[in-house]
Structure 1
Amino acid sequence: MKSFVIKPLSIALLAATLAACSTNAPAPSASAAKAAEAALNNDDWYQVWTEGQAVVFDDHAVYAEYVKTGKAPVMKDLGIKDEQGRNIVLGLRAEDRSKDVNTLAAKRFIDVNLPPSSSFYGEIREDNKIFVFQRYGDMMDVVKLGEPIFSYIELGAGPDGERLIYALAKEEKKPEKLIVKFKSMNR
């Protein structure tokens, strides 16, 4: 081919390619975004601490049953310890038994490789205390430090008279919405 044909053809192909690359795909709808978040199972996380174990859950029903009975359908020891030297054990649903632990939300939250939902909720139970969280970062601070940096405390307000410790950001006041959420989760 002659150069007078190749140059215009090349320019036309380049322009078409650039136009295709620059068009924006439509943003996902709010319902599609919520469905994607639900598939991640990243909206809640729970732990029960004893002197030698940190049992970690990504399912509220399994966690609630464990709190009542001390049993979960599947208990999987990860063979690793947390910051305080406790063995980390996953409390899982029966259908999670054969799944790769690295794909489970409970383990992915431990590994800090699962982005939390915008409506994140978490609890840690230890002795006669229940730590309550609305942010994953606050929960990770307690996992590392043992206590929240800032908190709002209600003495004896837990389901069985436990001390409730709501993790807060520096300038936050009484966490009214989080208190309501805790009560609805622990009826």
Structure 2
Amino acid sequence: MKSFVIKRGSIALLAAAMAVCSLNAAAVDAAKSAELALNNDDWYQVWSENQAVVFDDRAVYLDYLKTGKAPYLKDLGTKDNAGRALVLGLRAEDKGKDLNTLSAKRFLDVSLPPSSSFYGEIREDNKIFIFQRYGDMMDVVKLGEPIFSYIELGGGPNGERLVYALAKEEKKPETLISKFKSLNR
């Protein structure tokens, strides 16, 4: 009789544990879906002497790099710390949207939490800054250079200097280098 009760209790505990695991998996899937909806996994900027063009869409960014044009450019009427005019480079479908709902603007305003898999680039002259953390990218936006970095001279797609932003004790960022190279073939 006791072994029958123990077996029933074990089965009930196993069922409860499986239910909790499935709830946790559902919560993780929901969190990932919410993160995708935020459009907070990548951010790009192109700096010239007079402008800082900010993108939240990689396709628009890449097209801008090739042509110097975006479907829609919106001057924010403000300047960054270096005196460059801040301009959003947007998809055509973003033209009529409230600017404060767009990821490019929300990242500038520090009102959008970055994804855990964040990736960013800033291009200026003949160098490309590459980031795996939003905070490091914001440091460069404010200071003009990363505090700690790993540099590859001539390693860019067109011979640009690559500047990988690092944390203080971080070594050569092999994963970030691989990601940059796979995205910029």
TM over 0.5: yes
SS of residue matched to 2:116:
coil
Larger radius of gyration: 1
Give the Å deviation of 1:29: 2.4
Correspondence 1:157 to 2:155: yes
Q: Does 1:77 align with 2:75?
A: yes
Task: Give the match's secondary structure for 1:29.
Answer: helix
CA distance in 1: counterparts of 2:27 and 2:139, whole angstroms: 33
- 1:179 corresponds to: 177
Residue in structure 2 matching 1:115, options 113, 117, 134: 113
Give the number of aligned pairs: 162
1:63-74 paired onto structure 2 within 5 Å: 63-74=61-72
Match of 1:5 in 2: none
CA distance in 2, matches of 1:87, 1:80: 6
Cα distance in 1 for residues equivalent to 2:112 and 2:27: 22
Alpha-carbon distance in 2 for matches of 1:184, 1:105: 24
Shift of 1:178: 0.2
Report the Cα distance in structure 2 between the residues aligned to 1:108 and 1:186, rounded to whole angstroms. Answer: 25
Q: Distance in 1 between matches of 2:183 and 2:35?
A: 20
Stretches of structure 2 that go unaligned for 5 or more consecutive residues are: 1-22
**1:55-70 superposed matches below 5 A:** 55-70=53-68
Query: Which residue matches 1:16?
Result: none
Identity of aligned residues (%): 79
2:137 alignment counterpart: 139
Q: TM-score, normalised by structure 2?
A: 0.86
Q: 2:164 maps to which residue?
A: 166
Q: Distance in 2 between matches of 1:130 and 1:65?
A: 16
Q: Which portions of structure 1, spanning 4 or more consecutive aligned residues, are displaced by more than 3 angstroms? A: none
In structure 2, distance between residues paired with 1:114 and 1:79: 21
Q: Which runs of 5+ in 1 are unaligned?
A: 1-25
Distance 1:81 1:182 in 2: 28
Computed over aligned residues only, the root mean square deviation of the Cα atoms, in angstroms, reads 0.8
3-state DSSP of counterpart to 2:163? strand
